[in-house]
Chain A
Amino acid sequence: MNTTTRRLVGAGAAAATALGLAACGSGEAEGGDTTGAASGPVTIEVWGWNAETGVQIADAFNAAQDDVQVEYVLQASNTATQTNFRNVMTTQQGIPCLVQGFAPLTTMVVNGWAQDVTDVVTASEGLYNEGALAAAKVADRYYGVPTGSDGQFLIVNTATFEQNGVEIPTTWDEFLDAGRVLKTAGVDITNLAGEDPSTLLNLAQQAGAEWFAIDGDSWTVDFLDDATLEGAEVVQQLIDEDLVSNQTYQDKPALYSYFDSGKMASTTTQWWSLTGYQTNFAQSAGSWRAVQIPQFADATTPVTPGRATASFVPQGCENPEAVMAFVDWQTTAEGIEAGRNAETAAVGFPVQIPDPSPYVEEVVPEGFFVDATEAGDVIVEAQGAAIGKFELGPNYDSWFPELQDQWGKAVAGQITVEQALENVQEFVVGDLESKGISYTVAD
């Protein structure tokens, strides 16, 4: 799942935070937790919500060298990290040195939370793939540490395709055509959840859209460029011709039973969803194939949508080099091995390194795909072509709920996707205006 569902799932996460600039007496700048002594190891505090392997990775790193000691402070969730981080920045006490990305990197920069770490990152560039590096940049400076994204690919129910004599699509046009044929047999080509606009974002990113661009000292806003509209057109046809189902992610049993039923021919997905599918697909396990995500007809090279929320070094941390040492270590074989989950016996898929193929076997579940090796290849390929970066602008947290609202209406057929995008752009403009941020709207 993605940011949308992450935000919506989990009832009652009403976290009160404040930019807190008016809070009384918040100017106690005691700085971060770093000891920074000339002799002896540097201690850095790392925040994340990886309950399974966060601490063990830190422990392994501590044991493997003497210069840096990592203290992993487990947070309850993504939103919990956000709340706690805001509070810590308000009081300026106990600021950690590395925080798992809980919001887009540009937001961190706009709020004055992320440090410019270009100097320490450029030295390690070779360890990471293009997408991971792109995700760590804002305006061509590194404000975050390289973080890999999860490349999207398509899984198809071969039984359904074969039964209806349809070929597996390689472009979006073919995808729509396949959908039309399947519809006559009462099958949906895919699921389009009304609460999750990530489909639209993925298509726009894949088509090469740029909703926000930096032009000198001002933002250029364009939600209606040709690339976006190309993606919107695909969605519009899916909706208009009723080629999709609208099952919500909230109702998990219904979701899985629907995916499993053969009434849904394909879905876009990423590597970490596969375990869940394998556990919960009783009927269709074994008839799925992984293929490259359909491309746009005018694409020159295949690209995979994928966006990472980069982890970052907060302002107030005095040891970014130590942080980089820790992050770099996790690209080594030793570091990856340290993340082996004791319960599931699998490693976390290292999406930030250039070649994750040695580890792909661990993430391909048994008995799920028709051909596990082929699936592994597809996953690696998808990672290699992952774009990694999609600029979400200085006020993403503001306009994303608006996009959710508009998307819900579009999926329900109340407005067109293009109208939805227009409304969102209008909202973005109004919000930037009220915040005093410079922008121009592209024509």
Chain B
Amino acid sequence: MSQTTLTGAPTEAPVPVPRPRRRRRTDQEPSAAEARGTSRWFVLGVLVLLALYAAGPLWWLLVAATKSDGQLYTTDGLWFADFRLFSNLQTLFTYQDGIFGRWLWNTVVYAGIGSVGLTIVALAGGYAIAKYRYRGRGLTMGLIIASFLIPGTLMIVPSFVLFTRLGIYDTIWAMILPGMFGSFSVFLAKVYAEGAVPTELMEAARIDGAGEYRIFFSMGLRLLTTAGATIFLLHFVASWNTFMWPLVFLKGVEKWPVMLGLYSWLQRGTDSSVDLTSLVLTGSLVSTIPMIALMISMQRYWRSGVTIGSLK
């Protein structure tokens, strides 16, 4: 069954562009990766168990976000008391002059721009390392792995000095730029590129007269959509959830991203008379929603990859 063969006919110019199917013909036709027969039930069973382990604990978060201050600590954590979600939401978006909405917006900007930039840079970098042989390639890989070993906290002070010199302290660029050159994403891209971009295809394209950049932008990127989606999502989530970096590099409270804001609210309860835990929980719930929405809308990038098949 040739479901995922390349459409060998080139659409334009000499580069044979593999066009992945946009949607499966039918949903009943299983993809080759899927389990058949009785294994299906086993797969489903394990899936349910793992999903329970992963998502189950968050039930507490959902329930807690619907509780008022007085009931948060005094009622059973796993079931609802009075349903106060909407009043909590209202408080959330009006507290401290409605800064939560501003924080959300900031986070969207930082995470969005940073992740788009990173995806392009990382895919290009990973692709280069994976598919080409050149001097300094080994050194680059070595430096990348070495950079994993340094704890991030030690880099904060030198980065602070550096950023002040560069003039990006207390600007959005301090949030966006450093993340755009993350070594982990490049490593990931490299690993994906090795598997997803067959050298034969590149050769075929070269023979048809395409230049290296052309090959990358028309063919490589298409084959790396899953990799790109993964890198984008991973960085988006990491960016969304970070608070240490913004804590150091952003001064004004209206520039904070959402997690720093929630962290500051959480800290309020430790030595003052206000306890904002219920706001923090509601806020966490709200801030997860954009990420889930993003995840769902990006589902189509996690489709089964194209096979080499035969270039007929």
Contacts and interface: CB of A to CB of B under 8 A. Distances in A.
A73 B268 contact: no
Given A49-B264, A279-B70, A343-B95, A6 B273 contact: no
Nearest to A253: B73
A6 B269 CA distance: 9
The bracket for how many chain A residues form the interface is 35 or more
B248 A257 contact: no
A51 B164 contact: no
Contacts of A344: 273-274
B277 A6 contact: no
A166 interface: no
B254 to A, nearest CB: 9
Q: Which of B77, B165, B271 has the most CB of A within 10 A?
A: B271
A109 to B, nearest CB: 22
A399 B253 CA distance: 33
Interface stretch (B155-163, B229-237, B287-295): B155-163
A274 B256 CA distance: 31
B248 A279 contact: no
A392 to B, nearest CB: 17
Nearest to A255: B73
A17 B164 contact: no
Interface string A236-256: 000000000000000011001
B73 A77 contact: no
Contact of A10 (B154, B251, B263): B263
Contacts of B273: 271-276, 344, 346, 363
Contacts of A333: none
A16 B245 CA distance: 10
A20 B273 CA distance: 35
A55 B244 CA distance: 23
B80 interface: no
A123 interface: no
Nearest to A86: B157
Contacts of A272: 271-273
A25 B96 contact: no
A15 B153 contact: yes
B275 A276 contact: yes
Nearest to B154: A16
B306 interface: no
A2 interface: yes
A10 B266 contact: yes
B160 A52 contact: no
Nearest to B252: A73
B105 interface: no
A346 B274 CA distance: 11
B277 A252 contact: yes
A425 interface: no
Contacts of B154: 16
A280 B32 CA distance: 56
Most A-side CB within 10 Å, residue of B77, B253, B256: B253
Given A5-B270, A51-B268, A16 B73 contact: no
Nearest to B253: A74
Nearest to B272: A272
B263 A15 contact: no
B173 interface: no
A282 B74 contact: yes
Contact of B77 (A49, A74, A253, A275): A253
Contacts of A111: none
Contacts of B3: none
B116 interface: no
Interface string A1-43: 1100110011010111110100111100000000000000000
A83 interface: yes
B157 A14 contact: no
A15 B277 contact: no
A442 interface: no
B264 A25 contact: no
B147 to A, nearest CB: 16
Interface in B241-268: 243-244, 247-248, 251-253, 256, 260, 263-268
A385 interface: no
Given A256-B73, A273-B273, A51 B264 contact: yes
Contact of A252 (B73, B243, B260, B271): B73
A252 B263 CA distance: 17
Contact of B264 (A2, A77, A91, A363): A77
Interface string B59-76: 000000000011011100
B284 to A, nearest CB: 14
A423 interface: no
Given A279-B70, A280-B70, 8 more contacts: A5-B270, A16-B156, A23-B158, A51-B268, A87-B156, A87-B248, A276-B269, A282-B74
25 contacts: A12-B244, A14-B244, A15-B247, A16-B154, A23-B157, A50-B272, A75-B264, A76-B263, A77-B264, A78-B267, A80-B247, A84-B248, A87-B156, A87-B157, A91-B161, A252-B73, A253-B72, A253-B74, A253-B77, A272-B273, A275-B274, A275-B275, A280-B70, A280-B74, A346-B273
- Lowest 7 CB-CB distances: which A-B pairs, in order? A77-B267, A16-B156, A16-B153, A76-B264, A272-B273, A253-B73, A275-B273
Interface of A: 1-2, 5-6, 9-10, 12, 14-18, 20, 23-26, 49-52, 73-78, 80, 83-84, 86-87, 90-91, 93, 252-253, 256-257, 260, 271-276, 279-280, 282, 341, 343-344, 346, 363
